Amino acid sequence: MANTIAILNFKGGVGKTTTAVNLADALRGYGKTCLVIDLDSQCSSTIILDSEKEVESTDTIYESMKDKTLAPLCIFEHSKGLDFVASDKRMGDIDELLVGRSSKEHILERMIKPVKDEYDYIIIDCPPNRGVMTINAMVASDSVLIPIDSKFMSLDGLNQITEKISEVKNDEFLNPSLKILGFLLTRYNQNLRIAKDVYNALQSKFPSQIFNTKIRENTKVSEAPGYRCTIFEHDPSCAGAEDYLQLAREIGGIKPGTKWK
């Protein structure tokens, strides 16, 4: 059964989508089967993974959720071992669409259930807000991964995130088993004092919940989405690719030296 991870931050621009697609591709290269689910109306994961431009508006998660009988997820293959579920811009209106829907917080959980045994990992790219889809992602997930941009402003709002996770966890009708998988520092530059200060601030508050891996500031990582590809398709030898491989090993319990393909 899949290990389901929600990639979550209420701020945009912290590396949420970058982490979702690159972590999934890194795990794929280590022989793990992965499904990325894009819940964000900006559709960034979809744009990156739909490199062949196969997705039509009728093939998105919005269409599946719009159907009150919950139509099956429309799953596309990005590459062997890495599939995705597409979003579209209408997901920005999903809260209004689901008003009055029974058990609306569990919609995604019910949609994922039929395919959970088909994957090792399901990675959910969440919208940068506290809306119904974010709650759905937390209810459907085993854990939450929180990317943190290595700037002090990124620490603002962390309490809101952890409080929302606790709210979901403490509600027996939502997800009592939800946990924080870890805080991931992104765009990290070890030569900048601000990056070290952010790390120290996190370390003092969440000492056992920070990933050893840090995603270093890297031009190639920033370039890859513009080419509609993951970092491993764009430049597998760069520092950013190395960092996401290390993150995959840390999350997946994969031994250093394991061959990546």
pLDDT digits (tens, 9 = 90+) for 216-261: 999 999 999 999 999 999 999 999 999 999 999 999 999 888 989 8
How far is 145 from 49, CA to CA, in rounded Å? 20
What is the token pair recorded at 237?
A: 């030898």
pLDDT at 154 over 80: no
pLDDT, tens digit, for every residue of 57-87?
Answer: 889 999 999 888 888 999 999 999 999 999 9
DSSP codes joined into one string, 123-141: EEE--SSSSHHHHHHHHH-
Q: Helices in 119-258 by DSSP H: which ranges?
A: 132-140, 158-169, 193-205, 219-223, 231-234, 239-252
How far is 34 from 81, CA to CA, in rounded Å? 6
How far is 68 from 51, CA to CA, in rounded Å? 30
Whole-number percent of the chain with pLDDT over 70: 100
How far is 83 from 88, CA to CA, in rounded Å? 17
What is residue 7's predicted lDDT score, i.e. its pLDDT?
98
Catalogue all structural domains in the chain, each as residue range(s) with its CATH number. 3-247 (3.40.50.300)
209, 179 contact by CB (below 8 A): no
Residue 102 CB neighbour total at 10 angstroms: 8
What is residue 255's predicted lDDT score, i.e. its pLDDT?
87
Lowest-confidence range among 83-97, 112-126, 186-200, 209-223?
186-200
Closest CA to 168 of 196, 126, 137, 212: 137
Could you give phi then psi for residue 208, rounded to 5 degrees? -110, 10
Residue 215 CB neighbour total at 10 angstroms: 28
For the residues 94-100, what does the mean pLDDT come to?
Answer: 90
Classified as helix, coil or strand, 80 is coil
Whole-number percent of the chain with pLDDT over 90: 78
Max CA separation in the chain (angstroms): 53
pLDDT at 100 over 90: no
How far is 26 from 228, CA to CA, in rounded Å? 16
5, 124 contact by CB (below 8 A): yes
How far is 227 from 214, CA to CA, in rounded Å? 24
Could you give phi then psi for residue 254, rounded to 5 degrees? -90, 130
Q: How far is CA 74 from the centre of its chain?
A: 18
